[in-house]
Amino acid sequence: MHITFIQPAVGRKSNGERYPKTWIMEPLSLAALSALTPAAWGRSFFDDRLGEVRYDVETDVVCISVECYTANRAYQIAERFRRRSVPVVMGGFHATLCPDEVAQFADAVVCGEAESVWADVLHAVEAFKVAQPSKAVKKIFGAQTRMSVPHWKTCPHPDRSLYAGRNYGPLNLVETSRGCRFQCEFCSITKFFKQTYTVRPVEDVIAEIKALSKDILFFVDDNLAMEVERLKALCHALTPLRKRWIGQLSIHAANDSELLVLMARSGCAGVLIGFESLHAETIHAMGKQVNASNSDFRTAIENLRRHHLSIYATFVFGYDNDTEETFEETYRFAIENKFFFAAFNHLVPFPGTDVYERFKREGRLLYKDWWRREDVRFGDVVFRPKNFTPERLAELCQHYRLKFYSLPSMLRRGNDYRANAYGLRKMLYFYMSNLMQEKEVGRRRGLPFGGEP
């Protein structure tokens, strides 16, 4: 048997412009599935972001990981293989939150975490191969259980041989936990994992990291600090490895001085924090209670910078209390606090989220299936904000992205010897990565959801 794994792109511009480099990271979920696939199976892997998909590859099944932004492209790719009677299996966030839609374009859909059902999927493909065309592949595979410590212990580490010959940059992606217990209304993580959080044994994480060749790690966890004591244990175990790492955590972690000491000592270079808004009314509307309970942002930021930890800050615009002045106020806040990166994002009503359902009830969605439409591009606003037109909200987000990554802003933020320029190596990385972001702000805007297969 032979399996083909495919990572679809968001889309391709008609002039063939290069795909945004900052979006090309290791497809960890596909490497995890490859590790779960019996060694006797042959493997092919195509990353649509880096090159062409070979539709003539001899294979028994195609496996595609689908997100909302890549759904259209995934469906185009699937169609080409299904024309050859090659069964297609789809999974991922979009497949879990929109299984009925995805099932129209796939022979089988994996909902939720794949580890508990992957063997069943492969058995179904084998049965299909023997009985074809008299028997179809089972349509829906629902995760039988959440990943837990016993499950993690029995799972092999991701099969990174899948990445051979492809340049995914200097980062190795590592997963130490899944899910989040918070209930932000715009977040698809909450819906996918049903507001639960599970952890992987620290010793297993360390064993995987010891086998990695790259010196910089990106922990893909949705919230590394969901359990602070566990993060402290992870930092203790990381320290002797002399790796550098970055990860995403919630703001409350910045108030634990012991944790910050351990993070810095273990090689943490910076953290991604969702500040989302500077206004309590908006934070309340989002349902992000952890920010409401830790609203002294400036003290938290100072705590992080004192330990030489840079900050990637994310903000969301388009809530009913937001005005044009909100953008300027947030920009000043980002400059004054010398953020390494900042994201000026408009609110996106992803299907399955609470905000999507709310906008649908309120009649504020411009299109119920906006991710499928040819006239909607990446960066477009797909709902009716209260204080902006959709076009104006999108324009403001793009304007402040460009302003944040302008040379004057870069020089002001780079002059930060406690965090962004703490050491020559980090200072060089700051300027190189900010210059890349400045170039790619325009490259990302306007990408179509899909492209010619």
User: How far apart are alpha carbons 210 and 167 in whole angstroms?
Assistant: 21
- Tens of pLDDT, residue by residue over 193-243, are 988 999 999 999 999 999 999 999 999 999 999 999 999 999 999 999 999
Q: Are residues 198 and 100 in the same domain?
A: no
Among candidate residues 126, 142, 158, the one where a domain is terminated: 142
Structure tokens at 314: 């994310």
Q: Is residue 232 part of a domain?
A: yes
Instruction: Say yes or no to pLDDT of 400 above 60.
Output: yes
Q: Is residue 165 part of a domain?
A: no
User: How far apart are alpha carbons 339 and 335 in whole angstroms?
Assistant: 7
Q: Is residue 449 part of a domain?
A: no
Instruction: Say yes or no to pLDDT of 133 above 80.
Output: no
pLDDT of residue 134: 44
Which CATH number is 333's domain given?
A: 3.80.30.20
Q: How confident is the model at residue 248 (pLDDT cuts 50, 70, 90)?
A: very high
Among candidate residues 122, 142, 162, the one where a domain is terminated: 142
Instruction: Say yes or no to pLDDT of 106 above 50.
Output: yes
What pTM did the predictor assign? 0.93
* Residue 342: exposure state from Cβ atoms within 10 A (0-12, 13-18, ≥19): buried
Q: Are residues 176 and 135 in the same domain?
A: no
Instruction: Say yes or no to pLDDT of 151 above 90.
Output: no
Among candidate residues 142, 160, 192, the one where a domain is terminated: 142
User: How far apart are alpha carbons 95 and 190 in whole angstroms?
Assistant: 15
At 387, the amino acid letter reads: N
Q: Are residues 203 and 69 in the same domain?
A: no
pLDDT of residue 210: 97
Instruction: Say yes or no to pLDDT of 189 above 60.
Output: yes
Which CATH number is 120's domain given?
A: 3.40.50.280
Q: Is residue 301 part of a domain?
A: yes
- Give me the mean pLDDT over the 290-310 stretch: 94
Structure tokens at 84: 């050859």
At 439, the amino acid letter reads: K
Domain that holds residue 136: 2-142
Q: Is residue 159 part of a domain?
A: no
Q: Is residue 164 part of a domain?
A: no
> Which conformational region is residue 287 in: left (phi greater than 0), alpha (psi within -120 to 50 degrees), or beta?
left
Q: How confident is the model at residue 15 (pLDDT cuts 50, 70, 90)?
A: low
pLDDT of residue 320: 97
Q: Is residue 406 part of a domain?
A: yes
Q: Are residues 214 and 327 in the same domain?
A: yes
Q: Is residue 147 part of a domain?
A: no
Q: For all residues of the chain together, what is the average pLDDT?
A: 93
Q: Are residues 221 and 345 in the same domain?
A: yes
Instruction: Say yes or no to pLDDT of 118 above 60.
Output: yes
What is the share, in percent, of the chain residues with pLDDT greater than 90? Answer: 84
pLDDT of residue 449: 85
Q: Are residues 189 and 302 in the same domain?
A: yes
How far from chain centre, in Å, is Cα 405? 21
234, 357, 382, 388, 390 from 385: Cα distances, Å? 42, 15, 9, 6, 6
Instruction: Say yes or no to pLDDT of 13 above 60.
Output: no
Number of domains present in the structure of the chain: 2
Q: Are residues 199 and 78 in the same domain?
A: no
Q: Are residues 322 and 408 in the same domain?
A: yes
pLDDT of residue 452: 61
- Tens of pLDDT, residue by residue over 22-70, are 889 999 999 999 999 999 999 999 999 998 999 999 999 999 999 999 9
